[in-house]
Structure 1
């Protein structure tokens, strides 16, 4: 998989994480990344935030190293963008790229997550009570 080494708007010399180029993102990879409940929770939280969030803003019932793993999988599969802002690693859903490549996919997944949470009587990962 080919990767970008410097996302747009990142000053040279900054710490940069590798991301797949838009044209390299594959549906199977995105679905694999979203198949895990913790990663789905992260994506729902990022979608609800409609902007960047720090890793710590997405509370997960797992260890810090496991949380780091989940964010890395999402980044490496093209679902999220990660960028350092000072010492904070900020995360954002690659919504435009995903919507252009797979129209309706993210909306459908978020809607399904809401319906599942409602059916199970849980708090929905997107922040709505079920």
Structure 2
């Protein structure tokens, strides 16, 4: 719960949140993990509550990128920084975007053990199959096309 003693850190207004900034912020696996953990029902989390595989300074950078993109809101409470997902603001600005990105991330995570068991050769063969004669990559089965995403 936020009280009057908490200081909100600077963030863009809902109308100023840009799609390219949100997508850039969520493109990094560490930042996507932060968003997933916040979306999993943790309304306010201290930055140190996340067990991230990066140094403290790198972690601070990731939280700043998410905040400046408008993905999270941060409050300073004493020496702690509390973070929350700006789900409602993002849904108002880009309906369905955050939910679809998070669902895709969960689906990708669910498939990772199967890919790890298949080994590196199977992964290379899959990538080779996706190549066309012109050297471009075709859409992988099960991935939505850009036209399928409502922005």
Pairwise TM-score range, normalised by the shorter structure: 0.7 to 0.9
Structure 2: runs of 5+ lacking an equivalent: 115-151
Structure 2 contact 30–52 (Cα < 8 Å) conserved: yes
TM value normalised by structure 2: 0.70
Aligned to 2:39: 47
Aligned residues: 113
Q: Which has the higher helix share?
A: 2
Uncovered stretches (5+) of structure 1, i.e. residues with no partner: 1-8, 123-130
The list of structure 1 runs, each at least 4 consecutive aligned residues, that deviate by more than 3 angstroms after superposition, is 9-12
Alpha carbons 2:7, 2:77 under 8 Å: kept: no
Cα 1:61–1:109 change in 2 (3 A) is same
Matched, 1:98 2:90: yes
**Alignment of 1:108 onto 2:107:** no
Are 1:82 and 2:74 counterparts?
yes
Between structure 1 and structure 2, the one with the greater Rg is: 2
Aligned-residue offset at 1:16: 4.2
**CA distance change for structure 1 residues 52 and 80 in 2, over 3 Å: closer, same or farther?**
same
| 1:20 matched to 2:17 | no
Per the alignment, in what secondary structure is the counterpart of residue 71 of structure 1? Answer: helix
Question: What is the aligned-residue RMSD (CA, Å)?
Answer: 1.7
2:22–2:69 Cα contact (<8 Å) kept: yes
